Amino acid sequence: MRSFTAGLIAAVALIAALVMCGATLAKERPSDTAAASLPETARAPYAALRKLDGMLGVWRVTSEIMSPEGEWTQTSVTRLEYAKTMRGLQLTETHLATLEGASMEMEVNYTFDQYQNVYRAFVMDDTFGLGDVYEGDIDGDNIVLTNLRADTHALLPDGRRMHFRLTVPIKGDVRDMRVDQSVDAGATWSPFFRVVFERA
């Protein structure tokens, strides 16, 4: 009887361990079921967007601009959230709140074009109303995009076109994003904006 009871306890413990293991795997691979339900045409962009999963969640964001003296000057502190939309085929950045300073509210949508093999970010703001389009690829632990090809530039008072390059870290609980500017169509770049993300 004691042997039977010990065996039963061992079996229950094994089942519990398997259940826990399955739960852990489900957390590590939350998209397995979602991926299986996608049409074949969506598999490539879905897999590409999975590489940006390190950006998911809510973040405390400190924004700084490069001063004429060459120093970073804080402009605002906000709270943002990154979430998957369109069945995991789009990563959306949403402004939740402005905590300090004055902030331009923005919405950013990241996608992947499987036909041109390029990531895109569609950026919209509530101040200039410019639908800015960035394209690029993953480089190491960053996704690097520019608005050169789309030519959705800002126009300076002297008539020069200002383009931007975004270097966005895709991993870590503290991410240091850089925005560089170019007034010569990407021949040279200089620091313009710095955005520090801290996981909330």
**Higher-confidence position of 30 and 148:** 148
* Domain spanning 45-199, CATH class: mainly beta
Residue 17, token pair as written in the block: 């361990």
Which region, left, alpha or beta, applies to residue 57 given φ > 0 means left and ψ of -120 to 50 means alpha? left
Q: What is the pLDDT of residues 2-16, one digit of tens each?
A: 443 444 334 434 334
Mean pLDDT of 102-125: 95
**Mean pLDDT of all residues in the chain?**
87
What are the residues whose beta carbons fall under 8 Å from the beta carbon of 94, sequence distance 6 or more? 80, 81, 82, 83, 107
Q: What is the pLDDT of residues 31-59, one digit of tens each?
A: 457 778 899 999 999 999 999 999 999 99
CA atoms within 13 A on the CB side of 54: 15
Query: Is the confidence at residue 158, as pLDDT, over 60?
Result: yes
Exposure of 163 by Cβ count < 10 A (0-12 exposed, 13-18 middle, 19+ buried)?
buried
pTM, whole model, 2 decimals? 0.81
E strands in the chain:
57-66, 72-85, 90-101, 106-113, 118-125, 132-139, 142-146, 154-155, 161-169, 174-182, 190-199
Q: What is the pLDDT of residues 82-99, one digit of tens each?
A: 999 999 999 999 999 999
Q: Please, which pLDDT band fits residue 17 given cuts at 50, 70 and 90?
A: very low
Exposure of 136 by Cβ count < 10 A (0-12 exposed, 13-18 middle, 19+ buried)?
buried
Q: How far apart are alpha carbons 55 and 53 in whole angstroms?
A: 5
pLDDT of residue 32: 56
